[in-house]
């Protein structure tokens, strides 16, 4: 079952720069959607964690870390590396 976040539609007015509107219309035509649908998709992207309006990148969560147990061989020594490869 698809859950809708927005239960109704509302007409509204925005002031958009002419060049942005021109590009918006061209992109909507390329994608085969309405300008309204493209604007709505862009707004949803911003609201659910896309690039913030202020242009600053969103903070990424820290990368996972784990203990691997260390190296099996000294990777600076070809001899020990070749020996470890032959053992497998």
**DSSP per-residue string spanning the chain:** -PPPS--S---------HHHHHHHHHHHHHHTS-HHHHHHHHHHHHHTTSS-TTSPPPPPPPPP-------SS-TT-HHHHHHHHHH-
Query: Is position 80 within any domain?
Result: no
pLDDT value at residue 63: 81
Query: Is position 74 within any domain?
Result: no
Per-residue pLDDT for 69 more than 60?
Answer: yes
Query: Is position 71 within any domain?
Result: no
List pLDDT tens digits, range 17-65: 999 999 999 999 999 999 998 898 888 877 877 655 555 666 777 888 8
Average pLDDT over residues 8-22: 88
This prediction has a pTM of 0.47
Query: Is position 8 within any domain?
Result: no
Query: Is position 33 within any domain?
Result: yes
- Return the structure tokens found at 78: 């070809």
Query: Is position 25 within any domain?
Result: yes
pLDDT value at residue 3: 56
Query: Is position 4 within any domain?
Result: no
Q: Residue 52 belongs to what domain range? A: 16-57
């Amino acid at each position: 079952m698809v859950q809708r976040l927005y239960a109704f539609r509302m007409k509204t007015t925005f002031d958009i720069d002419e060049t942005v509107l021109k590009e918006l219309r061209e992109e909507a035509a390329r994608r085969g959607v309405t300008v309204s649908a493209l604007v709505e998709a862009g707004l949803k992207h911003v609201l659910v964690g896309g690039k913030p309006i202020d242009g600053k990148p969103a903070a990424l969560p820290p990368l996972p870390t784990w203990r691997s147990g260390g190296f099996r061989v000294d990777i600076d020594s070809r001899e020990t590396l070749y020996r470890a490869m032959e053992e497998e």
